[in-house]
Amino acid sequence: MTIETIVAKTDEQIQDALKVRTEVFVVEQQISKDLEFDGLDNECFHFVAYDGEQPIAAGRLREIDSNGKVQRICVRKDYRGKQIGNDIMHLIHKTAKENGIHQLVLHAQESAIPFYEKLGYHISSEIFYEAGIPHAEMKITLI
């Protein structure tokens, strides 16, 4: 298995990221397509991981007032537990720093909080619900 994680540059690569998001969030987690596709994708950096030609993970980074919001981190079910989420997050951190973004925030699904804590994020809110799923806001300062 040779996994390549990239910043999506072409329309095809961005569409690949959206396919993974649809599979994980809309199909698997039953999140409304209207919530998942919020009209903000054209303002974001997109990230996608491939196993050969097959898109297997995705995420996006949106700049808001010189801070970054990490969103839509997802890995196809059959690829979870293989460090691919880490690869996506490390590339997001690298891209953020290259663009002068050093404060990142994200809304982690409660089940994913330990994953983000291992990357250095800390919880900065009480549990709240988005799309019917418990989340917590988490933050990190990149050095």
In whole angstroms, what is the distance from residue 86 CA to residue 122 CA?
16
According to the model, what pLDDT value does residue 128 have? 97
* Residue 4: strand pairing partners: 50
Classify residue 142: in a domain, yes or no.
Answer: no
Number of domains forming the structure of the chain: 1
Asked whether residue 92 is assigned to any structural domain, the reply reads yes
Q: Is the pLDDT of residue 137 over 90?
A: yes
The domain in which residue 96 lies consists of: 3-101
Q: Are 107 and 137 in contact (CB under 8 A)?
A: yes
pLDDT at position 133 is: 94
Note whether residue 61 is domain-resident. Answer: yes
Looking at residue 41, what is its pLDDT? 95
CATH number for the domain spanning 25: value is: 3.40.630.30
pLDDT band (50, 70, 90) for residue 66: confident
Residue 111 lies in a domain: no
> What DSSP assignment string belongs to 54-111?
EEEEEEEEEEETTEEEEEEEEE-GGGTTSSHHHHHHHHHHHHHHHTT--EEEEEEEGG
pLDDT tens sequence across 103-124: 999 999 999 999 999 999 999 9
| Cα 122 to Cα 95: distance, rounded to the nearest angstrom | 20
Residue 19, in any domain of the structure: yes
Q: What is the pLDDT of residues 8-36, one digit of tens each?
A: 999 999 999 999 999 999 999 999 999 89
Residue for token digits 């979870």?
80
Q: Please indicate, yes or no, if residue 107 is contained in any of the structural domains.
A: no
Share of the chain above pLDDT 90, in %: 96
Q: Is residue 132 part of a domain?
A: no
Write phi, then psi, for 91 (nearest 5 degrees): -70, -40
143: pLDDT strictly greater than 90: no
* Beta-bridge mates of residue 134: 129
For a pLDDT cut of 70, what percent of the chain falls above it? 100
Confidence check: pLDDT of 65 > 90: no
For residue range 32-63, list pLDDT tens digits in order. 999 899 999 999 999 999 999 999 999 999 99
User: Is 128 within a domain?
Assistant: no
